[in-house]
């Protein structure tokens, strides 16, 4: 079993990180570069690598509750929602620039949360639960195996999607290696069931994954006999991996470093690496 636990603050790391990572891969700005297709009733946003790629590994990107940015809806959504969705696309495209064919399914089936509207979590999550979400991810994995002929699957999840990154690391679910940032609703049995390496990026302030729960999950991971990593980023709140305040140097650093945390993890533990 391999384990890393890191508390990451700002000072002393920014210059090192800036020098360490290749330029032009992670981007917080720019227009989305991928395309959308329909497969078996599921909308997929696909971003392909250019040049050198990890040709036998694909990333399944599982979003937060703001969901996949459907192109046809752009004129009908709030600017805040549009920005949240565009941030997701930029992350997907960044993983592609890192060399991974990356696919983001619309895990909410056209029913994302609106940050400008009233959000009734109980009602919303009654519509979007494992019984509704799992089949969408299963179809995405089927698409990768059957249509793209790619064998190895890395799964990355943010907030709502973080729970499902763990769910699909269970035996027979399809993922080989996983990363989750500030997961929500992650259950004990889902942690204990993982059969592949798991990496976590966590926020200092997170009511949905607080310090007590973080410590509990860390202890649970230690019983799985799987490689795992838990990184805690200072000065951050829930959602920083996607929706960090880029005018705050500490949050900007944390968002970018969490991305590279996932890339490093997949590179180290993907069976096809």
Mean pLDDT computed over every residue of the chain: 86
- How far apart, in Å, are the Cα atoms of 106 and each of 6, 42, 43, 45, 198? 32, 7, 5, 8, 23
Task: Give catalytic status of residue 111 as yes or no.
Answer: no
Is the pTM here over 0.85, yes or no? yes
Task: Give catalytic status of residue 238 as yes or no.
Answer: yes
Instruction: Choose, from 159, 176, 182, 248, the residue flagged as catalytic.
Output: 159
For residue range 48-99, list pLDDT tens digits in order. Answer: 998 766 778 999 999 998 887 533 333 334 555 556 566 778 889 999 999 9
Task: Give catalytic status of residue 189 as yes or no.
Answer: no
Task: Mention every residue, 6+ apart, whose C-beta is less than 8 A from residue 238.
Answer: 159, 182, 184, 203, 205, 206, 207, 208, 209
Longest dimension (CA), the chain: 49
Question: Domain coordinates of the chain in residue numbers?
Answer: 3-269
Question: What backbone phi and psi angles, to 5 degrees, belong to 28?
Answer: -95, -5
Cα–Cα distance between 108 and 127 in angstroms, integer? 9
- What ranges make up the beta strands (E) of 40-184? 42-47, 57-62, 101-105, 152-158, 177-181
The class that CATH gives domain 3-269 is alpha beta
Least-confidence region, from 4-13, 95-104, 196-205: 4-13
Cα–Cα distance between 227 and 4 in angstroms, integer? 9
């Amino acid at each position: 079993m391999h384990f890393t636990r890191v508390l990451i603050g700002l000072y002393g790391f920014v210059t090192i990180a800036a020098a360490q990572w290749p330029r032009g891969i992670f981007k917080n700005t720019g227009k989305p570069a991928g395309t959308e297709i329909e497969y078996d009733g599921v909308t997929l946003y696909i971003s392909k690598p250019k040049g050198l790629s990890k040709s036998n590994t694909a990333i399944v990107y599982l979003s937060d509750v703001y969901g996949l940015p459907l192109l046809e809806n752009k004129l009908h959504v709030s600017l805040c929602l549009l920005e949240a969705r565009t941030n997701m696309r930029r992350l997907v495209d960044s993983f592609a620039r890192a060399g991974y064919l990356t696919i983001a399914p619309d895990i909410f089936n056209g029913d994302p949360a609106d940050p400008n509207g009233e959000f009734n979590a109980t009602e919303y999550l009654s519509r979007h639960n494992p019984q509704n979400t799992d089949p969408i991810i299963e179809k995405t994995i089927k698409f990768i195996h059957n249509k793209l002929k790619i064998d190895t699957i890395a799964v990355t999840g943010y907030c709502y999607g973080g729970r499902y990154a763990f769910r699909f690391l269970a035996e027979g679910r399809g993922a080989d290696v996983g990363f989750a940032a500030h997961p929500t609703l992650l259950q004990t049995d889902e942690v204990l069931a993982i059969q592949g390496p798991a990496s976590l990026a966590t926020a200092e302030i997170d009511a949905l994954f607080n310090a007590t729960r973080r410590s509990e999950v860390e202890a649970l991971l230690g019983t799985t006999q799987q490689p795992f990593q838990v990184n805690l980023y200072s000065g951050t709140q829930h959602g920083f991996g996607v929706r960090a305040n880029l005018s705050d140097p500490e949050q900007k650093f944390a968002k970018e470093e969490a991305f590279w945390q996932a890339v490093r993890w997949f590179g180290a533990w993907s069976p096809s690496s």
